[in-house]
Chains A and B, each alone.
Chain A
Amino acid sequence: MHRFANPTRFLKLISALQPWAMGISVLCLATGLYFALIVSPADYQQSETVRIMYVHVPASWMAMFCYSALAGASAAGLIWRHLTAFVVARATAPIGAAFTFLALATGSLWGKPMWGTWWVWDARLTSVLILLFLYLGFIALEGAFDDRSRGMRAAAILAIVGAVNVPIIKYSVDWWNTLHQPASVVKLDGPAIQSSMLTPLLLMAVGYTAFYFWVMFVRVRAEFNDARIQALRLRHSQA
């Protein structure tokens, strides 16, 4: 891991991986959409609204995955003072915020026809809304200081403290009464979902994960460009 804290080596690695992430993402999303919209059957209770699952569940998983990456990278940045880790955290935050927004919005569009309401203040929905605010707080705090490294450290601490929300989201459907259904895929005794629906779900999930890495790599490269621009400007002003 520490080998890749070296920015040059890390940039080389992500530049090599980026076309793979793009390819896997495009391929899985294209086949996933075909299975989700055409091949997979309607649910016997939820009829066609079950198709919302194929965009809602992967977005929700990615909201949690990205936050774990954000908190992990923030911790690595604080502990080992690796700037590369902070760059990954900064690149991850807006992508995670987008996935969290999509989880909430598509959930709302699923909730209206199936629960009869766009929104309820129950544990699952509220804790995911808090997750969105944590992402937005991280982005705001990170850019709020003239001294960039101070802002980054403050935002990293927020990300680490906020990580307590991740298990709360995961277990909210077991700990509290909620309209939201409990986990049906990631379970100890195996998924409680038919393979005709599991196939598009997993394809979309892999597509979303590869999409995250693809966009994260692009953003990391832009961040490194910005850092070099700043260094060159500094040299200019001193010369």
Chain B
Amino acid sequence: MDINAFLDMGGYGAFVWPSYGLSALVLIAVLWQSHARLKRSGAELESLRGRNREAAP
């Protein structure tokens, strides 16, 4: 397969590749933000529970 022809997309590379790139970017951003939120809230919950255990022996 000719890589240049592949990237050129019959002259429509400027429309095809941004479509795929933007889709990947937005979906990965949503996934990453959601995972970061889960991680943050999980860590906070753990530390709160730890404090609770100290407060109530």
Contact = CB atoms under 8 A, between A and B. Distances in A.
A110 B6 CA distance: 18
B42 A51 contact: no
Secondary structure type dominating chain A contacts: helix
Contacts of B15: 49, 52, 109-110, 112-113
Secondary structure type dominating chain B contacts: helix
Contacts, number: 97
Interface string B19-54: 110110011011100110110011011001101100
Interface string A42-57: 1000011101100110
A90 B26 CA distance: 19
Interface residues of B, number: 32
Interface centre among B15, B35, B37, B51 (most CB of A within 10 A): B15
B23 A221 contact: no
A52 B22 CA distance: 11
Interface residues of A, number: 39
Interface of B: 1, 6, 9-13, 15-16, 18-20, 22-23, 26-27, 29-31, 34-35, 37-38, 41-42, 44-45, 48-49, 51-52, 55
